[in-house]
Structure 1
Amino acid sequence: MSVPDSVTAALGLVFLVGFVPLLPTEPVLISCGVLAASGKLPLQWVIITAITSCVLADLVNYGIGRRIGQPAIAKFAQRRTPALVLDWIKERLARNAEPILVAGRWLPGGGTIGAVLCGSLRFPLRRFALASMIGCTLWCLYATLLGYLGGELADDDIPLALGVSLGIAAVLSLPASMFLRAQRRRRAVTAVDIDDDPDLEPIAG
């Protein structure tokens, strides 16, 4: 395979993982950042491709939310971690929409959940698209440049660079993990309070 073909394949992979939900976008972008540091990939095209695919994915998911919002939201609510992320975004969306949509990028499935939720709530497309572009740009820069930094620190030792970059990413993900644990405890306490209150009756709906 020639070098141009290998670059094209790598950028195609970047586009795919950015566009398709649940694929491992972060490790792929970190790996491409490492390869960019060693001169094997063009850093700017990795970033541009990643941002483009993520924004397009957001717009598609927003459209899905507008068409079949409630069934899609119900599927998120059935799984523990997506349900926690969904509750957090939904509670704050009306007050601080753009910052919440940007911050949600760093939560598991936050980009997809936020896009579908905004579509289902008929959130203005122009405001959503702006928040998406900002969030996708910051997140793609974060992941790709993290890999690039690891590549620079490891001096072209690609396995070491990957280890360093992924290790840093794991440390930086700790706040998100702590947030999810706090949300889980909060949800459990709320559920207990509702069950223990004799004055509360279930609402049919």
Structure 2
Amino acid sequence: MAVVLPVAPLAVYLFLFLWSAVPFAPAEPVLLAGGAVAGAGGLFLPLAIAATTLGSLASDLAKYALGRSAGTALLGRISRLRTGARAVRWLEARILASGPMVIAPSYFVPCGVVVATILCGALRLRLRAVVLASAVGALIWSTVFLGLGYLGATVTGNPWFGLALAVPAALVIGLLAKRRVTRQCACEPENHEEPCPLAV
């Protein structure tokens, strides 16, 4: 079932870029839908991946800049919630140990990339390293979620069925990421002082 878009494909690529660039916006459902449209022939998948990667990178740099200017206040607000406080402590320890590359896997942890990029700004980490880590994470994240929608539409031959198939697959990926991080926490000796933010 081929999709006929009501607007030019360029407008859809621009929408994917802009939506991914909005800080704190939940972009995964939009990526799954975009992938499903691409799987039905409405978009060129590599261009969709490029648009969302660049948008997400722009969002990360905005949160990094926010962290540099108001990181302490923002992290204080996040830390008012018990889960938020755990996330801040847990990610801060890993950023101090491993640097900005923690950003890449944090894309698959709920709110992880938000905390990680703000922390990188608050800790005044080098912009070049943050850009590299964010670019890697954004590319992997975009490819995974757009790819799920694309695969679903390709397998079912229908973008709506493809989206319905991709959503539970995305939820499974999120649960697996959460389980992996939780298991990693359980294996680390410091987890008694700094509880895993996902082990709630």
TM-score by length of 2: 0.82
CA positional deviation for 1:189: 6.6
Identity %: 28
Aligned to 1:164: 165
Aligned to 1:26: 28
Deviation per CA, 1:104-148: give whole Å up to 9, x if none: 111112222111100110111111111111111111111111111
Let me know the Cα RMSD of the aligned residues: 2.6
Matched letter for residue 163 of structure 1: A
Name whichever of 25-34 and 168-177 sits farther off: 168-177
Deviation per CA, 1:143-178: give whole Å up to 9, x if none: 1111111111112x2221111111111111112343
Rate the CA distance shift 1:16–1:81 in 2: closer, same or farther, 3 A. farther
How many Å separate the matches in 2 of 1:179 and 1:75?
A: 27
Larger Rg: 1
Rate the CA distance shift 1:80–1:17 in 2: closer, same or farther, 3 A. farther
Alignment of 1:47-126 (within 5 A): 47-126=49-128
Q: Secondary structure at the match of 1:94?
A: helix
Aligned to 1:15: 17
Q: Runs of 5+ in structure 2 lacking a partner? A: 195-200
How many Å separate the matches in 2 of 1:147 and 1:90?
A: 33
Deviation per CA, 1:53-81: give whole Å up to 9, x if none: 11111111111111111001112212344
Alignment coverage as a number of residue pairs? 188
TM-score by length of 1: 0.81
Runs of 4+ residues deviating >6 angstroms: 180-183
